[in-house]
Chains A and B, each alone.
Chain A
């Protein structure tokens, strides 16, 4: 029997029992919908977690520090310094896109008559793009950059006029991209010396930096800092050290974490950032780095915790969906059995005129399959409607992290494409399964018994 003929015959058989077919399809539709919606609630929960956690920092980035609580590697060895070589090693790990040291240097920023402390972050400029620092105007750093800088939009709030007798901050509309910006390692640059403070032996001329871009709403340190190429920052650091030694170490007020940064290949860096390729690698890479004795941190830890805490709820949701679907599947099996009882005589007739066992099984399985496909596709459609309604009326079951502000994009239900396909596919397979037993019964019916049945 040709495939198309079987298809045609099965559709025809369903069509002649319109009401029952419709009711069965509705049953499957509701079952599929139940499963898809329940899963979509769980997915939305996870998605909300992810979105909110992402606001705490880039979830694909791991912050690495050159220390840990125990002060030793897990197998009891001394922690090796976080050198360029080590960082290159991170970059070669499986699932890692790249790694850069971060050098944090506190300097004095000078813009016209305003001065202010600023934190300069030195990174490998080739990695700038990879760090996903949101540049709002201008451009990011590239490998050729030297004294170029990308400045956070809040960095200017540190600027004030030291000559003024009252507190005079830099004006709100100061655009650093249009100003001449200089930095100095003399931390008291431009300040009125305190009474009794020794004046520096030599004056230093501030170095001009070229602001090529602005960062806004990075949600982290970049908003307040200046990002510059690593090599330039190392140079600044050397100059600063020289200057401080020249001034007996007490010449400048060392503010911030400048002291904890280190410039070197030998003593290593204080901090590094490792960027992974995909979310699934984060935990694994983090474990590897921790095993080397470094402290590694990523917002994914919070995410995992959240997911763990909500796993129970999601299981309950899935359970409800599956129950609904099992009932629908029983409905299919029932319909198929009924139609076999009804058509016993007919099965006998088609056997007499040459239908093979396989033909009969295929006809019945196909009928069940059609019910599954139609029910599944319509169920997915219904789920999409239900999902829209849930999101519209903001019926939220969870996924709102308590201490986070109510996010804009929080969803109640989230149906990705794979869930649609899985929902329809599952419905199809379950229907086939429900059709297997009835189809076998039809197949095994002996010709004479089937013909005799009224």
Chain B
């Protein structure tokens, strides 16, 4: 196995007037292909900031971030957009679906930006919605669905363009225990089938059971790295 994400001495410093907040304070980390890597740590430790940096949603103040062979800290906004289209899926705690679009349209939207023709992207979106168990909710708008259902839609959306890495920021933060396990099984099984890498942030210690590695973050630094199970999918099942 080879490293798919490599962080080398990454800093992210926010300036608030006179004050400087080092949300990410010198992190070096290498994540292997096919891993399910879990970031844990107290609130305000910089997990989300780190995740955003890795997904190219934010730029590091210092240091380099490589995904595959690409230095994403060097890309401009349009290059990043293209890069995200091809290689990255993102799942948010509060789903972030487009309220006016149906489940199907929401899932198909990333493909729309890739320029995939309508019939093809609808077919792909349908397949994924079926895979996440929302076969009968395709035409529903987000506000007509439960939180768990909405999160399934957002998972389907993250997976639809078959990205190399999926980032998830507290994907189960708003869900109950049963649904949380469902979601985790769903994500890990999808990723396993497609040999995808997952990086997720969570406060829930149970979720750690699904991961191959647990990275503990504190004050913008890596405190400890624990090895989890050999294979997130098998453990989860």
Q: Which residues of A contact B (CB under 8 A)?
A: 1-2, 5, 9, 12-13, 16, 345-346, 349-359, 447-448, 451
Stretch among B106-114, B186-194, B210-218 lining the A interface:
B106-114
By beta carbon, the residue of chain B nearest A345 is B96
A354 lies within 8 A of B81 (CB): yes
In the complex, A73 Cα to B118 Cα: how many Å?
A: 77
Q: Tally of A-B residue pairs with Cβ under 8 A? A: 59
| B100 in the interface (beta carbon within 8 A) | yes
Interface check B115, CB cutoff 8 A: yes
Cα–Cα distance between A447 and B84 once the two chains are bound (Å): 12
| A349 lies within 8 A of B96 (CB) | yes
Q: Is the CB of A354 within 8 A of B161?
A: yes
A2-B82 in contact (CB<8A) = no
Who on chain B is nearest to A1 by CB?
Answer: B113
The answer on a CB contact under 8 Å between B57 and A357 is no
Instruction: Report the minimum CB–CB distance from B143 to chain A (whole Å).
Output: 13
Closest to A5 in B: B112
Query: B-side binding surface: helix, strand, loop or mixed?
Result: helix
A16 to B77 Cα, complex, angstroms: 29
B81 to A448, Cβ gap below 8 A? no
Give the chain A neighbours of B55 by CB distance below 8 A.
352
> Could you tell me the distance in whole angstroms from the C-beta of B66 to the nearest C-beta in chain A?
20
CB-defined contacts of B161 to chain A, threshold 8 Å? 354
Rounded to whole angstroms, the CA-CA distance of A12 and B58 in the bound complex is 30
Complexed CA–CA distance, A354 and B79 (Å): 10
CA A359 to CA B112, docked complex, whole Å: 10
Instruction: Name 23 interchain pairs, CB-CB below 8 A, sorted by A.
Output: A2-B112, A2-B115, A2-B117, A5-B112, A5-B118, A346-B98, A349-B96, A350-B98, A352-B55, A352-B84, A353-B109, A354-B81, A354-B82, A354-B84, A354-B85, A354-B113, A354-B161, A356-B78, A357-B77, A357-B78, A447-B57, A448-B58, A451-B57
The answer to whether A354 touches B114 (Cβ under 8 A) is yes
Residues on A with beta carbons closer than 8 Å to the beta carbon of B110: 353-354
- CB contacts (< 8 Å) of B85 on chain A: these are 354
Task: Return B136 CB to nearest CB of chain A, in Å.
Answer: 24
Report the bound CA distance from A12 to B84 in whole Å: 25
A352 and B90 form a contact (CB under 8 A): yes
Which residues does chain A contribute within 8 Å of B96, judged by CB atoms? 345, 349, 352, 451
The verdict on B52 contacting chain A, using a C-beta distance below 8 Å, is yes
Is residue B47 within 8 Å, beta carbon to beta carbon, of the partner chain?
no
Residue of A nearest to B115 (CB): A2
Question: Which residues does chain A contribute within 8 Å of B100, judged by CB atoms?
Answer: 12-13, 16
CA distance A176 to B112 in the complex (A): 82
Query: B157 near A: Cβ within 8 Å?
Result: yes
A50 to B4, CA, bound (A): 79
Report the 10 A-B pairs with minimum CB-CB distance, sorted nearest first.
A354-B85, A353-B110, A356-B81, A354-B113, A447-B57, A349-B96, A354-B84, A355-B113, A5-B112, A16-B100
Alpha-carbon distance A218/B73, docked complex (angstroms): 84
Q: Give complex CA distance A448, B78 in Å.
A: 16
B residues less than 8 Å from A355 (CB atoms): 81, 113
A1:B115 contact, CB within 8 angstroms: yes
Shortest C-beta distance, A67 to chain B (Å), equals 76
Contacting pair A351 B81 (CB below 8 A): yes
Q: Are B113 and A356 in contact (CB under 8 A)?
A: yes
Bound complex: CA A5 to CA B90 (Å): 22
Q: Are B157 and A353 in contact (CB under 8 A)?
A: yes
A448 B84 Cβ-Cβ under 8 A? no
Name the B residues within 8 Å of A356 (CB-CB): 78, 81-82, 113
